[in-house]
Structure formats: structure tokens, C-alpha cells
């Protein structure tokens, strides 16, 4: 149980286009989902926290208009990178927090590699 999926796993796009990444909790309901960005050989950097039915909370320095987050249901959150540029190329990881609570209740997706040409 407790599986989180991300789609797509790999995406290549042209500079100036927008890319949507989906994060789904497959067998549990997630009150909260977190979006991270990870550069090569670096740690995970939290970008934003999304709660179902409300606006996302962005970390300092993360552009809200650049990285649009929508958490429309208890099993789906999406991250849209708008007008992507080569510097947006990175590995994006989501995690989902279960309604059940407790210490072991944030589950990570497998990540999405984004390459902007």
C-alpha cells in the first residue's frame, strides 16, 4: 500500500512551452502534497505545499506564477511549469501525506525528469 505515482516520468520540451506534472496517491487519500526540486548531486528543495481545495503555499524564492500548483482532489496534485526555460530543467519529486496521520505518512513519488531545450 501507500503508493504515489508521478506522470510523466520523463519529459523533454521546447523553451517557452508549459509542462504539467501529475502526482497521484493510488491507494490512499492525501490531505497534503509536497513538491520538491532536486538538482544533480544535491538535496531535495521544497518548492511548495498543496492542500486539497485551497491555494498552495510556496517557499521563499519560488515563483508562484512560474510553478502553478493545483490540488483538485484528495488523490491528485499537479505542478505546471509555465513558459519553461533551460534553467527549469531538473528532477521534480512529489510526496503525499495520508489522512491517517502519524510519523510514517509521507510517501514519495518516483520523480519526473524535466529537460527544457
Partner 1 sequence: AQTVTQSQPEMSVQEAETVTLSCTYDTSESDYYLFWYKQPPSRQMILVIRQEAYKQQNATENRFSVNFQKAAKSFSLKISDSQLGDAAMYFCAYRNPMNRDDKIIFGKGTRLHILP
Phi, psi at 88, each rounded to 5°? -85, -10
77 sits near partner 1 (criterion: CB under 8 A): no
Q: Which is nearer to partner 1, 40 or 86 (CB)?
A: 40
Nearest alpha carbon to residue 90 among 16, 35, 23? 35
Q: Which grid cell is 93? A: 519529486
Q: Which of 3, 1, 2, 11 lies closest to 92 in space, CA to CA?
A: 11
Number of CB atoms found within 10 A of residue 1's CB: 7
Stretch that binds partner 1, among 10-18, 20-28, 78-86, 91-99 (CB under 8 A): 91-99
Find the binding residues for partner 1 in span 36-55 (CB under 8 A). 38, 41-44, 46, 49
User: Based on CB atoms, which residue is closest to partner 1, 35 or 75?
Assistant: 35
- Which residues of the chain form contacts with partner 1 (CB under 8 A)? 32, 34, 38, 41-44, 46, 49, 57, 91, 93, 95, 97, 101-106, 108, 110-111
Amino acid at each position: 500500500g501507500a503508493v504515489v505515482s508521478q506522470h510523466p516520468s520523463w519529459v523533454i520540451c521546447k523553451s517557452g512551452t508549459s509542462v504539467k506534472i501529475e502526482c497521484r496517491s493510488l491507494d490512499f487519500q492525501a490531505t497534503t502534497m509536497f513538491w520538491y526540486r532536486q538538482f544533480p548531486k544535491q538535496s531535495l528543495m521544497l518548492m511548495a505545499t498543496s492542500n486539497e481545495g485551497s491555494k498552495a503555499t510556496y517557499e521563499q524564492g519560488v515563483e508562484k506564477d512560474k510553478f502553478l500548483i493545483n490540488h483538485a482532489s484528495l488523490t491528485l496534485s499537479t505542478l505546471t511549469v509555465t513558459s519553461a526555460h533551460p534553467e527549469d530543467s531538473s528532477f521534480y519529486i512529489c510526496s503525499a501525506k495520508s489522512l491517517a496521520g502519524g510519523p510514517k505518512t509521507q510517501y514519495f513519488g518516483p520523480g519526473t525528469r524535466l529537460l527544457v531545450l
